[in-house]
Amino acid sequence: MATSAPEPMLEIVTEAIVVIDLVESTLTSNLFGWYAVGRQSLRDLRALIGEVGQIRGLRCVRSTGDGYLLTFYDPQSAEMAAIRAVEAVFELLGLISVRNREVSEERALNLRCAVHLGEVDVIPNDREGPHISMAFRLEEISRASLPAALNPIPPEQFPLQNYVLCSEEVAGILSRRAAHWELVSIGLLKLKGFPGWREVFRITSEEHPTDLGGRMRAL
Amino acid sequence: MEAPAPLRKSLALVFCDIVGSTRLIARMGDLVASAVFRQFIEHADRLGRQHHSLMIKFSGDAFLAAFENMNDVMPFVISIEGLLSPHSPLERLEGFRFSLHYGNVLYIETSYGNDILGEDVNVAAHLSEIAHPNELVISQAALARMPADYQFHAGASEVHPFKRVGDVEFRRVKLLDENPFFRLARGFQRT
């Protein structure tokens, strides 16, 4: 009887997970063409991600169609991976802000970013597991999500683009280990597929003032 | 026109969650499940108005309702639980989880309607997470404002720690006909 080869052991690691979504990328591609604008925008974004991530433990860059799934790893400390990931995202927003001033309007990049930390299954050039789903759920949160949240900030104060959201896990790490980040609870939300209520935070930085949405009210 | 200034109010906060909503979607498909959830929202909204709720807010398969008068709360909870009885609109649901808390919140008018803000809202939400199916978890703050008969028939005191709030004392009440607490509430509903 033939025996099937044993499945290789999956590597399971704790990584900071970042989901970056290019705002209105489909609309831009439809209006101005994928080959003329869309493709170059994604390539530019990928190049900038490489620039900010390489020195901060960027381990995985996976296209999601209109954005990227990134993971950051620190062999010494999982918490530091989360801090490096947030640093990378804010540096990316800074570079994009500079780039947007130099390119035509249709080539401008605007992002929605979400950061989470958790155990993931390492697949070559990809990651799997519920924490990956959680990061995508965070990224999906928008102004329209807030009326259903508990203790929400006013929807008008939630920016439309160029902002960073994070989970309670990442917020806890930042408040303990990186005082220069300001955290604002945007409310308690129910995230599809996850039980219970999750508090979601927006991260702002005085060093990287990329906020286009005005000041937020702290609850 | 400017929105009215936010008001501080002491309110009874009721949370209700559908038990097994993910299983329902898997079992019956998302079209049927979303029709059931829509019915749930319509009935809960109607019953909220019928029982004088100050506001009711829906979030997926759950809602938060606020009451100024504690006497309106149990008849409302019973009327929601009654939606599960045989041949009633929501008999396909496995059950509800309820929580009841009493606290001081900010009542505000927003761009999407009236809402309430404050740490006590979070407490009420987290209390519903520790409720079992067809059970009401009542914080001590809420129970202390209910008639003495209710207090006598509530379950044993338990404590659960909540972030930023600390320990919250609560009791469990099974929403079953043979439970004296539930019978009292039914009697109250009839009067």
User: What digits encode the pLDDT tens for the residues A149-173?
Assistant: 999 999 999 999 999 999 999 999 9
State whether B111 and A154 contact (CB < 8 Å). yes
**pLDDT tens-digit profile of B14-55?**
999 999 888 888 888 989 889 999 999 999 999 999 999 999
- Pairwise CB contact (< 8 Å): A148 & B125: no
- Residue % of chain B over a pLDDT of 70: 92
Q: When comparing pLDDT for B163 and A1, which is higher?
A: B163
Q: Per residue in B75-90, is it b (16+ CB within 10 Å) or e — as a string? A: bbbbbbbebbeeeeeb
Which tops the pLDDT comparison, A27 or A175?
A175
DSSP sequence for A136-199: HHHHH--GGGGGGSBSPPPGGGS-SSSEEEE-HHHHHHHHHH-TTEEEEEEEEE--TTS-S-EE
Q: Which residues contact A102 (CB under 8 A, 6 or more apart)?
A: none
Nearest to B125 among A152, A188, A192 (CB): A188
Q: Which residue of A has its CA nearest to B22?
A: A193
CB-based contact A190 B60, cutoff 8 Å = yes
Q: Do B129 and A197 touch (CB under 8 A)?
A: yes
DSSP letter for A99, please: H
CA distance B163 to A172: 12
The rounded distance, in Å, linking the Cα atoms of A185 and A218 is: 7
Structure tokens at B10: 């002491």
Q: What residue type is assigned to position A83 of the chain?
A: I
The total of other beta-carbon atoms located within 10 Å of residue B23's CB is 11
Give me the residues paired with residue A182 across strands. A204
- The partner residue sitting opposite A190, judged by closest CB among B59, B115, B118, is B59
Q: Which residues of A touch B129 (CB under 8 A)?
A: 195-197
State both tokens at B125. Answer: 């939400």
Tell me the nearest-neighbour CA distance from A148 into chain B, angstroms: 5
Which positions ≥6 away from A29 have C-beta within 8 Å? A37, A38
- Rounded to whole angstroms, the Cα distance separating B112 from B58 reads 12
Residue that the structure tokens 């009327």 belong to: B79
The complex's ipTM works out to 0.85
Global pTM value: 0.86
All structural domains of chain B: 7-190 (3.30.70.1230)
Structurally, at CATH architecture level, domain A11-205 sits in: 2-Layer Sandwich (3.30)
Task: Give the pLDDT band of residue B168 (cuts 50, 70, 90).
Answer: very high
Chain B contact present for A6, CB below 8 A: no
pLDDT of residue A215: 35
The token pair at B21 is: 């909503």
- Computed over every residue of chain B, the mean pLDDT equals 89
> How many Cβ atoms from other residues are within 10 Å of residue B24's Cβ?
20
What local confidence, expressed as pLDDT, does residue A86 receive?
A: 97
Residues comprising chain B, all counted = 191
Cβ–Cβ under 8 Å, residues A22 and A45: yes
- Nearest C-alpha of chain A: how many angstroms from B112? 6
Residues of chain B with Cβ-Cβ distance to A156 below 8 Å are 111
The pair of structure tokens assigned to B111 is 């761009």
CB neighbour list of residue A185: distance below 8 Å, 6 or more residues apart:
A151, A153, A199, A200, A201, A219
Element (H, E) at A135: helix A130-140
CA A192 from chain centre, in angstroms, equals 18
Nearest by CB to residue B112, choosing from A155, A192, A197, is A155
Residue the block writes with tokens 């039980």: A195
pLDDT digits (tens, 9 = 90+) for B56-69: 999 988 999 999 99
Reported as half-sphere exposure (CB side, CA atoms, 13 A), residue B63 has a value of 22
Task: Compute the residue count for chain A.
Answer: 219
pLDDT of B189:
58
The reply to whether A188 touches chain B by the CB within 8 Å rule is yes
Q: What is the DSSP string of A22-80?
A: ETTHHHHHHHH-IIIIIHHHHHHHHHHHHHHHGGGTEEEEEE-SSEEEEEE--SS-HHH
> Cα angle at A69 between A64 and A72, to 5 degrees?
165
Is A195 within 8 Å of B111 when comparing Cβ atoms?
no
Cβ <8 Å between A150 and B59: yes
Question: CA–CA separation, B33 vs B39, rounded Å?
Answer: 10
Q: For residue A123, what are the β-bridge partners? A: A126
B121·A152 Cβ contact <8 A: no
Q: Is the pLDDT of residue B187 over 70?
A: no
Compute the distance between CA of residue B189 and CA of residue B47 in angstroms, rounded to an integer.
Answer: 13
Strand A67-72 and strand A58-63: pairing?
antiparallel
CA dihedral A216, A219, B2, B3 (to 10 degrees): 140
